[in-house]
C-alpha cells in the first residue's frame, strides 16, 4: 500500500462507504430470497430455520454445536429450529459415531427435495446476472469476496 495522504484517505473512506452501500443492497435482496424460500419449504417457516436447513444440506451431517458455530447463532434457538425441522421430516438426528454423547443432524430426502423446490425460482438468477461477465471477472470477484470474508489481502496467502 502506498503513502496514505488525507486525499487518499478520504478517497478510501468514500470507496469503503460505497462498498458498504452495495453490500447493504445485496443483503436486502438475499434476505428477501431467504424469506421467500423459507415460505416455500413450509408456510410460516422462519428464515433462520431455513438457513439452518440449508447449512446442514450444504456442509453435510453436523452436530448442533457445529451448526451454531457456523451460523454464529444461539444454540437454544437452533435446537428448537432443528426440532421443528425434524417434526416436518426435513432432518433426522442420529448418534455421532465419533462421540456417542452427541447427535448428528442430517437432511432427509424430503428435506433435500423441499430445498430444491424452494430454491428453483431463484436458481438461475445469479447465472443470468453474470451472463455478460467473463469467466475471469467472475473468478476475480470470487477471489476478492473470499479474501474479504476471511480477512486476507487478495492474491496473498
Write down the pLDDT at residue 157.
Answer: 59
The residue count of the chain comes to 157
Q: What is the pTM of this model?
A: 0.78
> What would the pLDDT profile of 33-52 be if each residue is shown by its tens digit?
999 999 999 999 999 999 99
Burial class from Cβ neighbours inside 10 Å (0-12, 13-18, 19+) for residue 56 reads: buried
Domain 6-121 has CATH 1.10.10.10: yes
Low pLDDT (below 70) residues in the chain: 1-4, 7, 156-157
Write down the pLDDT at residue 126.
Answer: 86
> What would the pLDDT profile of 76-98 be if each residue is shown by its tens digit?
999 999 999 999 999 999 998 88
Domains of the chain, residue spans:
6-121, 124-157
Buried b (16+ CB within 10 A) or exposed e, 90-99: bbbbeeeeee
Amino acid at each position: 500500500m502506498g503513502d496514505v495522504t488525507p486525499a487518499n484517505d478520504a478517497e478510501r473512506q468514500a470507496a469503503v462507504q460505497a462498498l458498504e452501500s452495495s453490500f447493504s443492497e445485496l443483503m436486502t435482496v438475499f434476505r428477501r430470497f431467504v424469506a421467500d424460500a423459507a415460505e416455500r419449504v413450509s408456510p410460516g417457516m422462519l428464515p433462520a430455520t431455513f438457513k439452518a436447513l440449508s447449512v446442514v444440506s450444504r456442509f453435510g451431517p453436523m452436530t448442533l454445536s457445529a451448526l451454531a458455530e457456523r451460523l454464529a447463532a444461539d444454540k437454544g434457538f437452533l435446537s428448537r429450529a432443528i426440532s421443528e425441522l425434524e417434526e416436518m421430516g426435513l432432518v433426522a438426528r442420529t448418534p455421532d459415531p465419533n462421540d456417542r454423547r452427541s447427535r448428528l443432524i442430517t437432511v432427509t430426502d424430503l428435506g433435500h427435495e423441499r430445498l430444491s423446490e424452494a430454491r428453483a425460482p431463484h436458481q438461475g438468477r445469479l447465472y443470468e446476472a453474470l451472463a455478460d461477465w467473463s469467466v475471469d471477472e467472475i473468478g476475480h470477484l470470487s477471489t476478492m469476496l473470499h479474501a474479504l470474508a476471511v480477512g486476507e489481502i487478495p492474491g496473498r496467502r
